[in-house]
Amino acid sequence: MLGPVLLAAARSDSIRRIVAAAPVTRPVVERFVAGERLTESMAAVRTLAARGLEVTLDHLGEDITDPAEALRNRDAYLQLAAALKEHGLGVKAEMSVKLSAFGQALAGGHELALKNVTPVVEAAAEAGTTVTLDMEDHTTVDSTLAILADLRERFPQTGAVLQSYLFRTEDDCHALAGEGSRVRLVKGAYKEPATVAFQDKREVDKAYVRCLKILMAGEGYPMIGSHDPRMVAIAQELAHRNGRKPADYEFQMLYGIREAEQQRLVAEGHRMRVYIPYGTDWYGYFMRRLAERPANLGFFLRSLATR
Ligand code: FDA
Protein backbone atom coordinates (compact mmCIF):
# COMPACT_ATOMS: atom_id res chain seq x y z
CA MET A 1 0.00 0.00 0.00
CA LEU A 2 3.02 2.29 0.43
CA GLY A 3 3.70 2.42 -3.30
CA PRO A 4 0.74 4.69 -4.23
CA VAL A 5 1.52 6.99 -1.26
CA LEU A 6 5.13 7.37 -2.41
CA LEU A 7 4.03 7.93 -6.00
CA ALA A 8 1.68 10.70 -4.85
CA ALA A 9 4.55 12.16 -2.76
CA ALA A 10 6.74 12.09 -5.88
CA ARG A 11 4.62 14.97 -7.23
CA SER A 12 4.30 16.98 -4.00
CA ASP A 13 6.42 20.12 -3.73
CA SER A 14 6.14 20.32 0.08
CA ILE A 15 7.34 16.73 0.56
CA ARG A 16 10.06 17.37 -2.03
CA ARG A 17 11.41 20.20 0.15
CA ILE A 18 11.45 18.01 3.30
CA VAL A 19 13.11 15.00 1.62
CA ALA A 20 15.68 17.13 -0.24
CA ALA A 21 16.67 18.93 2.97
CA ALA A 22 17.15 15.74 5.04
CA PRO A 23 20.90 15.28 5.51
CA VAL A 24 20.65 11.49 5.11
CA THR A 25 18.98 11.71 1.73
CA ARG A 26 22.10 12.34 -0.32
CA PRO A 27 24.00 9.07 0.33
CA VAL A 28 20.85 7.10 -0.47
CA VAL A 29 20.20 9.10 -3.63
CA GLU A 30 23.77 8.40 -4.73
CA ARG A 31 22.92 4.74 -4.94
CA PHE A 32 20.53 5.47 -7.81
CA VAL A 33 21.96 8.66 -9.35
CA ALA A 34 25.46 8.89 -10.90
CA GLY A 35 26.10 12.45 -9.67
CA GLU A 36 24.95 16.01 -10.17
CA ARG A 37 27.42 17.01 -12.88
CA LEU A 38 28.04 15.98 -16.48
CA THR A 39 31.64 15.01 -15.62
CA GLU A 40 30.35 12.52 -13.03
CA SER A 41 27.99 10.98 -15.56
CA MET A 42 30.88 10.62 -18.05
CA ALA A 43 32.94 8.88 -15.36
CA ALA A 44 30.04 6.44 -14.80
CA VAL A 45 29.82 5.78 -18.56
CA ARG A 46 33.51 4.93 -18.71
CA THR A 47 33.34 2.64 -15.65
CA LEU A 48 30.37 0.72 -17.02
CA ALA A 49 31.73 0.61 -20.58
CA ALA A 50 34.95 -0.94 -19.22
CA ARG A 51 32.77 -3.76 -17.85
CA GLY A 52 31.13 -4.39 -21.23
CA LEU A 53 27.93 -2.46 -20.47
CA GLU A 54 26.24 0.09 -22.70
CA VAL A 55 24.35 3.05 -21.23
CA THR A 56 21.54 5.50 -21.76
CA LEU A 57 21.95 8.86 -20.01
CA ASP A 58 19.10 10.81 -18.44
CA HIS A 59 19.69 14.43 -17.44
CA LEU A 60 17.22 14.52 -14.55
CA GLY A 61 14.29 16.89 -14.89
CA GLU A 62 10.52 16.58 -15.34
CA ASP A 63 7.20 18.36 -14.85
CA ILE A 64 8.62 21.82 -15.48
CA THR A 65 6.34 24.86 -15.11
CA ASP A 66 8.36 27.51 -16.90
CA PRO A 67 9.41 27.62 -20.60
CA ALA A 68 12.85 28.93 -19.58
CA GLU A 69 13.43 25.66 -17.73
CA ALA A 70 12.66 23.73 -20.92
CA LEU A 71 15.44 25.65 -22.66
CA ARG A 72 17.85 24.92 -19.81
CA ASN A 73 17.02 21.21 -20.06
CA ARG A 74 17.46 21.27 -23.84
CA ASP A 75 20.86 22.93 -23.38
CA ALA A 76 21.92 20.36 -20.77
CA TYR A 77 21.22 17.61 -23.32
CA LEU A 78 23.08 19.53 -26.03
CA GLN A 79 26.10 19.67 -23.70
CA LEU A 80 25.72 15.96 -23.05
CA ALA A 81 25.65 15.18 -26.79
CA ALA A 82 28.72 17.39 -27.29
CA ALA A 83 30.57 15.53 -24.52
CA LEU A 84 29.67 12.15 -26.04
CA LYS A 85 30.95 13.37 -29.42
CA GLU A 86 34.15 14.85 -27.97
CA HIS A 87 35.01 11.67 -26.05
CA GLY A 88 33.89 9.29 -28.81
CA LEU A 89 31.36 7.65 -26.49
CA GLY A 90 28.43 7.69 -28.92
CA VAL A 91 28.88 4.00 -29.69
CA LYS A 92 28.39 3.04 -26.05
CA ALA A 93 25.96 5.71 -24.87
CA GLU A 94 22.56 6.91 -26.01
CA MET A 95 20.30 9.47 -24.30
CA SER A 96 16.88 9.16 -22.63
CA VAL A 97 14.62 12.21 -22.42
CA LYS A 98 11.41 13.04 -20.59
CA LEU A 99 9.30 15.35 -22.73
CA SER A 100 7.79 17.00 -19.64
CA ALA A 101 11.28 18.44 -19.11
CA PHE A 102 11.00 20.00 -22.59
CA GLY A 103 7.68 21.75 -21.92
CA GLN A 104 5.11 19.08 -22.92
CA ALA A 105 2.74 20.00 -20.06
CA LEU A 106 2.80 23.77 -20.68
CA ALA A 107 0.35 25.69 -22.90
CA GLY A 108 1.05 24.64 -26.50
CA GLY A 109 3.22 21.95 -24.93
CA HIS A 110 3.11 19.39 -27.74
CA GLU A 111 4.62 21.81 -30.27
CA LEU A 112 6.99 23.24 -27.66
CA ALA A 113 8.32 19.81 -26.66
CA LEU A 114 8.82 18.84 -30.31
CA LYS A 115 10.61 22.14 -31.02
CA ASN A 116 12.88 21.75 -27.98
CA VAL A 117 13.69 18.06 -28.39
CA THR A 118 14.45 18.20 -32.14
CA PRO A 119 17.92 19.85 -31.77
CA VAL A 120 18.77 17.23 -29.12
CA VAL A 121 17.94 14.39 -31.53
CA GLU A 122 19.99 16.14 -34.24
CA ALA A 123 22.94 16.53 -31.85
CA ALA A 124 22.66 12.87 -30.85
CA ALA A 125 22.89 11.84 -34.50
CA GLU A 126 26.00 14.02 -34.92
CA ALA A 127 27.53 12.27 -31.91
CA GLY A 128 26.83 8.88 -33.53
CA THR A 129 24.06 7.95 -31.16
CA THR A 130 20.33 8.25 -30.65
CA VAL A 131 17.56 9.25 -28.24
CA THR A 132 14.84 7.25 -26.51
CA LEU A 133 11.70 9.08 -25.37
CA ASP A 134 10.84 8.01 -21.82
CA MET A 135 7.12 7.55 -21.17
CA GLU A 136 5.46 9.48 -18.35
CA ASP A 137 1.86 9.38 -17.09
CA HIS A 138 -0.94 8.16 -19.37
CA THR A 139 -2.12 11.66 -20.31
CA THR A 140 1.13 12.16 -22.23
CA VAL A 141 1.18 8.95 -24.29
CA ASP A 142 -0.63 10.23 -27.42
CA SER A 143 1.52 13.35 -27.58
CA THR A 144 4.76 11.41 -26.96
CA LEU A 145 3.97 8.82 -29.65
CA ALA A 146 3.04 11.59 -32.12
CA ILE A 147 6.36 13.33 -31.39
CA LEU A 148 8.11 9.98 -31.87
CA ALA A 149 6.47 9.56 -35.30
CA ASP A 150 7.53 13.09 -36.26
CA LEU A 151 11.14 12.59 -35.15
CA ARG A 152 11.39 9.20 -36.85
CA GLU A 153 10.72 10.76 -40.25
CA ARG A 154 14.22 12.26 -40.09
CA PHE A 155 15.77 10.06 -37.39
CA PRO A 156 14.23 6.58 -37.73
CA GLN A 157 16.41 5.19 -34.94
CA THR A 158 14.66 7.34 -32.28
CA GLY A 159 13.19 5.04 -29.62
CA ALA A 160 10.25 5.16 -27.24
CA VAL A 161 9.08 3.49 -24.04
CA LEU A 162 5.83 1.54 -23.71
CA GLN A 163 4.36 0.61 -20.31
CA SER A 164 2.65 -2.76 -19.94
CA TYR A 165 0.34 -1.54 -17.13
CA LEU A 166 -1.68 0.56 -19.62
CA PHE A 167 -4.61 -1.21 -21.31
CA ARG A 168 -3.71 0.46 -24.62
CA THR A 169 -0.15 -0.81 -24.78
CA GLU A 170 -0.71 -4.09 -26.65
CA ASP A 171 -2.14 -2.02 -29.52
CA ASP A 172 0.80 0.39 -29.29
CA CYS A 173 3.19 -2.58 -29.44
CA HIS A 174 1.55 -3.79 -32.65
CA ALA A 175 1.84 -0.27 -34.08
CA LEU A 176 5.54 -0.05 -33.14
CA ALA A 177 6.68 -3.58 -34.02
CA GLY A 178 7.76 -2.64 -37.55
CA GLU A 179 11.23 -2.56 -39.05
CA GLY A 180 13.61 0.03 -37.57
CA SER A 181 11.43 0.65 -34.54
CA ARG A 182 13.14 0.68 -31.13
CA VAL A 183 10.87 0.08 -28.15
CA ARG A 184 11.85 -0.16 -24.50
CA LEU A 185 9.17 -2.21 -22.79
CA VAL A 186 8.70 -1.48 -19.06
CA LYS A 187 5.96 -2.26 -16.57
CA GLY A 188 5.28 1.43 -15.74
CA ALA A 189 6.20 3.60 -12.78
CA TYR A 190 3.40 6.17 -12.35
CA LYS A 191 0.21 6.20 -10.27
CA GLU A 192 -2.50 5.45 -12.84
CA PRO A 193 -6.28 5.13 -12.43
CA ALA A 194 -8.14 1.82 -12.87
CA THR A 195 -9.89 3.27 -15.93
CA VAL A 196 -6.66 3.12 -17.95
CA ALA A 197 -4.27 0.72 -16.24
CA PHE A 198 -4.09 -2.70 -14.57
CA GLN A 199 -3.85 -2.29 -10.80
CA ASP A 200 -2.95 -5.89 -9.96
CA LYS A 201 0.77 -6.62 -10.31
CA ARG A 202 0.07 -10.10 -11.74
CA GLU A 203 -2.03 -8.52 -14.49
CA VAL A 204 0.78 -6.06 -15.24
CA ASP A 205 3.25 -8.96 -15.49
CA LYS A 206 0.94 -10.96 -17.78
CA ALA A 207 0.50 -7.90 -19.99
CA TYR A 208 4.28 -7.47 -20.06
CA VAL A 209 4.66 -10.99 -21.46
CA ARG A 210 1.93 -10.42 -24.07
CA CYS A 211 3.65 -7.20 -25.18
CA LEU A 212 7.05 -8.89 -25.24
CA LYS A 213 5.63 -11.61 -27.51
CA ILE A 214 4.42 -8.95 -29.97
CA LEU A 215 7.72 -7.06 -29.99
CA MET A 216 9.90 -10.17 -30.22
CA ALA A 217 7.83 -11.56 -33.11
CA GLY A 218 7.99 -8.19 -34.90
CA GLU A 219 10.62 -6.61 -37.11
CA GLY A 220 11.82 -3.96 -34.65
CA TYR A 221 14.45 -3.83 -31.91
CA PRO A 222 13.00 -4.73 -28.48
CA MET A 223 14.66 -3.28 -25.37
CA ILE A 224 13.65 -5.25 -22.28
CA GLY A 225 13.54 -2.70 -19.44
CA SER A 226 13.04 -4.84 -16.34
CA HIS A 227 14.91 -6.17 -13.30
CA ASP A 228 12.45 -9.02 -12.96
CA PRO A 229 14.27 -12.38 -13.38
CA ARG A 230 11.09 -13.95 -14.80
CA MET A 231 10.76 -11.30 -17.51
CA VAL A 232 14.47 -11.63 -18.35
CA ALA A 233 14.14 -15.43 -18.70
CA ILE A 234 10.95 -15.16 -20.78
CA ALA A 235 12.61 -12.58 -23.04
CA GLN A 236 15.54 -14.93 -23.62
CA GLU A 237 13.17 -17.78 -24.47
CA LEU A 238 11.11 -15.60 -26.85
CA ALA A 239 14.27 -14.29 -28.54
CA HIS A 240 15.38 -17.87 -29.11
CA ARG A 241 11.93 -18.92 -30.38
CA ASN A 242 11.86 -16.00 -32.84
CA GLY A 243 15.36 -16.69 -34.13
CA ARG A 244 16.75 -13.45 -32.75
CA LYS A 245 20.51 -13.18 -32.23
CA PRO A 246 21.94 -11.26 -29.22
CA ALA A 247 22.46 -8.22 -31.49
CA ASP A 248 18.72 -8.13 -32.32
CA TYR A 249 17.49 -7.03 -28.86
CA GLU A 250 18.90 -5.77 -25.58
CA PHE A 251 18.26 -5.79 -21.86
CA GLN A 252 18.10 -2.56 -19.89
CA MET A 253 18.29 -1.97 -16.14
CA LEU A 254 18.57 1.09 -13.93
CA TYR A 255 21.84 2.37 -12.48
CA GLY A 256 22.52 0.83 -9.07
CA ILE A 257 19.93 -1.95 -9.39
CA ARG A 258 20.81 -5.66 -9.78
CA GLU A 259 24.38 -4.96 -10.84
CA ALA A 260 25.43 -8.61 -10.53
CA GLU A 261 22.60 -9.60 -12.86
CA GLN A 262 23.66 -6.90 -15.34
CA GLN A 263 27.16 -8.36 -15.34
CA ARG A 264 25.89 -11.93 -15.62
CA LEU A 265 23.90 -11.12 -18.76
CA VAL A 266 26.94 -9.43 -20.34
CA ALA A 267 29.06 -12.49 -19.51
CA GLU A 268 26.44 -14.64 -21.26
CA GLY A 269 26.91 -12.56 -24.43
CA HIS A 270 23.83 -10.33 -24.13
CA ARG A 271 23.64 -6.62 -24.77
CA MET A 272 22.92 -4.85 -21.49
CA ARG A 273 22.28 -1.12 -21.29
CA VAL A 274 22.26 0.72 -17.96
CA TYR A 275 20.02 3.78 -17.53
CA ILE A 276 22.19 6.43 -15.85
CA PRO A 277 20.40 9.42 -14.34
CA TYR A 278 22.43 12.47 -13.34
CA GLY A 279 21.71 16.06 -12.35
CA THR A 280 20.25 17.97 -9.43
CA ASP A 281 16.55 17.34 -10.05
CA TRP A 282 16.55 13.77 -8.68
CA TYR A 283 13.49 13.91 -6.43
CA GLY A 284 10.73 12.43 -8.68
CA TYR A 285 13.05 9.73 -10.02
CA PHE A 286 14.22 8.81 -6.52
CA MET A 287 10.68 8.58 -5.10
CA ARG A 288 9.57 6.27 -7.95
CA ARG A 289 12.48 3.93 -7.11
CA LEU A 290 11.41 3.88 -3.45
CA ALA A 291 7.80 3.18 -4.47
CA GLU A 292 8.82 0.21 -6.64
CA ARG A 293 10.52 -1.77 -3.97
CA PRO A 294 10.02 -1.86 -0.21
CA ALA A 295 13.68 -2.93 0.22
CA ASN A 296 14.77 0.41 -1.29
CA LEU A 297 12.54 2.25 1.16
CA GLY A 298 13.91 0.10 4.02
CA PHE A 299 17.44 1.10 3.00
CA PHE A 300 16.43 4.79 3.17
CA LEU A 301 14.66 4.44 6.53
CA ARG A 302 17.56 2.45 8.04
CA SER A 303 19.95 5.26 7.12
CA LEU A 304 17.60 7.70 8.86
CA ALA A 305 17.52 5.50 11.98
CA THR A 306 21.27 4.97 12.18
CA ARG A 307 22.11 8.65 12.26
P1 FDA B 1 9.35 -5.26 -10.47
O2 FDA B 1 9.39 -4.00 -9.66
O3 FDA B 1 8.04 -5.70 -11.00
O4 FDA B 1 9.97 -6.40 -9.61
C5 FDA B 1 9.91 -7.75 -10.03
C6 FDA B 1 11.09 -8.52 -9.48
O7 FDA B 1 12.30 -7.97 -10.01
C8 FDA B 1 11.27 -8.43 -8.00
O9 FDA B 1 10.42 -9.34 -7.33
C10 FDA B 1 12.74 -8.79 -7.86
O11 FDA B 1 12.92 -10.17 -8.03
C12 FDA B 1 13.34 -8.09 -9.04
N13 FDA B 1 13.79 -6.75 -8.65
C14 FDA B 1 13.19 -5.57 -8.94
N15 FDA B 1 13.88 -4.54 -8.42
C16 FDA B 1 14.93 -5.08 -7.78
C17 FDA B 1 16.01 -4.56 -7.02
N18 FDA B 1 16.13 -3.24 -6.76
N19 FDA B 1 16.93 -5.42 -6.50
C20 FDA B 1 16.81 -6.74 -6.71
N21 FDA B 1 15.80 -7.31 -7.40
C22 FDA B 1 14.88 -6.50 -7.93
N23 FDA B 1 8.91 3.47 -16.20
C24 FDA B 1 8.10 4.36 -16.83
O25 FDA B 1 6.92 4.48 -16.46
N26 FDA B 1 8.58 5.10 -17.88
C27 FDA B 1 9.86 4.97 -18.34
O28 FDA B 1 10.24 5.66 -19.29
C29 FDA B 1 10.71 4.03 -17.70
N30 FDA B 1 12.01 3.85 -18.10
C31 FDA B 1 12.74 2.80 -17.57
C32 FDA B 1 14.00 2.49 -18.10
C33 FDA B 1 14.67 1.35 -17.66
C34 FDA B 1 15.99 1.00 -18.28
C35 FDA B 1 14.10 0.53 -16.65
C36 FDA B 1 14.79 -0.73 -16.17
C37 FDA B 1 12.89 0.86 -16.07
C38 FDA B 1 12.21 2.00 -16.51
N39 FDA B 1 10.98 2.35 -15.96
C40 FDA B 1 10.20 3.29 -16.61
C41 FDA B 1 10.55 1.78 -14.65
C42 FDA B 1 9.64 0.58 -14.84
O43 FDA B 1 8.37 0.99 -15.31
C44 FDA B 1 9.43 -0.16 -13.51
O45 FDA B 1 8.80 0.71 -12.59
C46 FDA B 1 10.69 -0.67 -12.86
O47 FDA B 1 11.60 -1.19 -13.79
C48 FDA B 1 10.32 -1.82 -11.88
O49 FDA B 1 9.76 -2.91 -12.56
P50 FDA B 1 10.61 -4.25 -12.86
O51 FDA B 1 10.05 -4.86 -14.11
O52 FDA B 1 12.05 -3.88 -12.95
O53 FDA B 1 10.43 -5.19 -11.65
Q: Is residue 300 part of a domain?
A: no
Q: CATH code at 245?
A: 3.20.20.220
Q: Is residue 42 part of a domain?
A: yes
- The widest CA-to-CA distance across the chain, in whole angstroms, is 54
Q: Is residue 210 part of a domain?
A: yes
Q: Is residue 160 part of a domain?
A: yes
Of ligand 1's atoms, which has the minimum distance to the CA of residue 295?
18
Question: Which residue of 165, 228, 230, 231 sits with most ligand 1 atoms within 8 Å of its CB, as the best mutation to test the pocket?
Answer: 228
270 annotated binding-site participant: no
- Tell me how far apart the alpha carbons of residues 54 and 273 are, in angstroms, rounded to a whole number: 4
DSSP per-residue codes, the chain: -HHHHHHHHTT-HHHHHHHHH-TTHHHHHHHH---SSHHHHHHHHHHHHHTT-EEEEEE---S--SHHHHHHHHHHHHHHHHHHHHTT-TTTEEEEE-GGGGTTTSTTHHHHHHHHHHHHHHHHHHTT--EEE---SGGGHHHHHHHHHHHHHH-TT-EEEEETTBTTHHHHHHHT-STT-EEEEE---S---TTTB--SHHHHHHHHHHHHHHHHHSSSEEEEE---HHHHHHHHHHHHHTT--GGG-EEEEETTSSHHHHHHHHHTT--EEEEEEESS--HHHHHHHHHH-HHHHHHHHHHHHT-
The domain containing residue 106 runs over which residues? 34-281
159-196 pLDDT per residue, tens = 999 999 999 999 999 999 999 999 999 999 999 999 99
Give me the sign of the Cα torsion angle 50, 73, 220, 265: positive
Of ligand 1's atoms, which has the minimum distance to the CA of residue 201?
3
Q: Is residue 304 part of a domain?
A: no
227-276 pLDDT per residue, tens = 999 999 999 999 999 999 999 999 999 999 999 999 999 999 999 999 99
CA–centroid distance, 57 to ligand 1, in Å, is 17
Catalytic residues: 134, 184
Q: Is residue 293 part of a domain?
A: no
- Tell me how far apart the alpha carbons of residues 261 and 259 are, in angstroms, rounded to a whole number: 5
CA–centroid distance, 87 to ligand 1, in Å, is 30
Question: Which residue of 95, 147, 227, 272 sits with most ligand 1 atoms within 8 Å of its CB, as the best mutation to test the pocket?
Answer: 227
201 annotated binding-site participant: yes
pLDDT truncated to tens, each residue of the chain (307 aa)?
667 877 877 777 777 777 777 665 677 778 899 999 999 999 999 999 999 999 999 999 988 999 999 999 999 999 999 999 999 999 999 999 999 999 999 999 999 999 999 999 999 999 999 999 999 999 999 999 999 999 999 999 999 999 999 999 999 999 999 999 999 999 999 999 999 999 999 999 999 999 999 999 999 999 999 999 999 999 999 999 999 999 999 999 999 999 999 999 999 999 999 999 999 888 888 888 888 876 777 666 665 554 4
Q: How many domains does the chain have?
A: 1
Q: Is residue 219 part of a domain?
A: yes
Q: Is residue 10 part of a domain?
A: no
Whole-structure pTM value: 0.93
Flag whether the ipTM exceeds 0.90.
yes
* Residues 261, 251 contacting (CB under 8 angstroms): no
